[in-house]
Amino acid sequence: MSVYELIKQGETCLKNENISNPFNESAGIMKHVLSKTLEEVIVSYSDRISANKINLYAKLIERRSRKEPFAYIVKKKEFYSLDFIVGRSVLIPRPDTECLVDEALKEIKGLFQECKKKITVLDIGTGSGAIAISIAKNSDNVIIYAADNSKRSLIALKKNIIANGVEDKVVPVYFDMLKLKSGGPIFINNYLNFNIADFDNFDLILSNPPYIETDELKVLEDDIKLYEPFKALDGGKDGLKFYREIFDIAVLKTNKIKTLILEIDYRKKSEIYSLFKEKFKNKNIKFKNITFINDLNNKERAVKITYG
């Protein structure tokens, strides 16, 4: 069969399973099988394909037909114009999260102009490292501690740090909020260790925490609920579990002004705002500013709080 004939065959299979944009996805899988750019695939439409590659292509189309995410099949995902290695141990980076990177870069630029030293950043629940690495690639004035409580995620993070050439700016950290709060050990292998006092040293703390309500996980699309890591999605009964945890460790009594930028579910804006006020009041720390940031769909996708 020719390249084009096989792509059309794959398109039919995906269309029968109600996969969106079936031709584009079929062509994307072909691009992966042939290790070519999309333009090179188009030029080679009339070429014949070896039996081995036909078999591989068919297996990958079958995986996509079962709703396995395209990014997991081809083992990479573009985010902020960079390529990231992804597997089922990490969430697939999504374009809506890019607004968090944009806001962080603005904040880092402003902080650097004020203090003229490298800005220290903590990215909690870094996963593939998409947020931390995107920031590091676009700023010379940061050192970012990319933290996660999954050893498998940290392996993916290290690969992405090396692939994107930011070894001098991004530091992998094993970090478990619950163990940290209880005073238990969080050191593992050769990853950097934290204690709770370290959190006063960061200029900027970022996170895209799990924020889907537990009951909502059951009604998510199959490509999410069947394949993406449950722990990275489940935000507890009300979707706010990890915001509470982050505030308990990040919003400490501080002698300097700091900034917290978090991705949120736009439907939870009022609940999150109330939680912020409650936590800050209880800790006797003053708000300086709070801003909600819109994503590509003009929905409030992140919040920035300046305090101290």
Q: What whole-number distance in Å separates Cα of residue 298 and Cα of residue 171?
A: 33
Q: Looking at this protein, which amino acid is placed at residue 190?
A: N
Task: Give me the residue label for tokens 């390529």.
Answer: 83
| Lowest model confidence (mean pLDDT) among 53-57, 83-87, 250-254, 284-288 | 250-254
Which residue did the predictor score with more confidence, 288 or 11?
Answer: 11
Please report whether residue 227 resides in a domain. Answer: yes
CB 236, CB 81: distance < 8 Å: no
- Inside any domain, residue 105: yes
Write the CB contacts of 256 (distance below 8 Å, at least 6 apart in sequence).
200, 203, 308
Residues 262, 128 share a domain:
yes
Q: Which residue has the tokens 């204690």?
A: 195
Q: Which residues pair with 91 in a beta bridge?
A: none
Is pLDDT above 50 for 188? Answer: no
User: Beta-carbon neighbour count of residue 262 at 10 Å?
Assistant: 25
Residues 43, 125 within the same domain: no
Q: Within 10 A of 134 (CB to CB), how many other CB atoms are there?
A: 25
Where residue 116 falls among pLDDT bands split at 50, 70, 90?
confident
**Statement to judge: residues 166 and 116 lie in one domain:** yes
Same domain, 60 and 110: no
Average pLDDT, the chain: 89
CA distance readout (Å), 232 to 121, 127, 150: 21, 8, 10
Q: Is residue 205 part of a domain?
A: yes
Instruction: Identify the pLDDT of residue 182.
Output: 52
Give the pairing of strands 300-307 and 258-263.
Answer: antiparallel
- The pair of structure tokens assigned to 119 is 């800005």
The residue segments making up the domain with residue 194 are 95-307
CB of 103 closer than 8 Å to CB of 304:
yes
Q: Could you give the CA distance from residue 303 to residue 260 in angstroms, rounded to a whole number?
A: 8
Longest dimension (CA), the chain: 70
Which residue's structure tokens are 């039996």? 51
Asked if 153 and 278 sit in the same domain, the reply is yes
Both 28 and 172 in one domain: the answer is no
Q: Which amino acid is at 64?
A: R
Helices 22-34 and 3-16, packing angle to 10 deg = 130
79 assigned to some structural domain: no
Looking at 66, 81, 109, the residue that finishes a domain is: 66
- Residue 96 to residues 6, 36, 53, 264: CA-CA distances in angstroms? 33, 28, 35, 11
Q: How far apart are CA 285 and CA 282, in angstroms?
A: 8
**Is residue 49 within 8 Å of residue 35, measured between CB atoms?**
no
Q: Domain check: are 62 and 200 in the same one?
A: no
**231 and 190 co-located in one domain:** yes
Residues 248 and 103 reside in one and the same domain: yes
Q: Is the domain of 266 the same as that of 124? A: yes
Joined tokens for residue 82: 């960079």
CATH number at residue 269: 3.40.50.150
Return the minimum-mean-pLDDT range out of 62-66, 92-96, 116-120.
Answer: 116-120
- Residues 29 and 165 both lie in one domain: no
Whether 149 shows a pLDDT value over 90: the answer reads no
The pLDDT > 70 percentage for the chain reads: 88
Name the amino acid, one letter, at 147: A
Which of 25, 49, 66 terminates a domain? The answer is: 66
Identify the pLDDT of residue 306.
84
Query: Is the pTM higher than 0.75?
Result: yes
Q: Is the pLDDT of residue 86 over 90?
A: yes
Dist CA 109 CA 203 (whole Å): 12
Note whether 193 and 47 are same-domain residues. Answer: no
**274 is a domain residue:** yes
Total count of domains within the chain: 2
Q: Residue 121 is inside which H or E element, if any? A: strand 119-124
Amino acid identity of residue 195, one-letter, is N
Is residue 80 included in any domain, yes or no? no
Measured between alpha carbons, how far is 228 from 282 in angstroms, rounded to an integer? 36
Is the residue at 27 inside a domain? yes
Residue 41 lies in a domain: yes
Q: Determine contact, residues 278/256, Cβ cutoff 8 Å.
A: no
d(CA 288, CA 85): 38
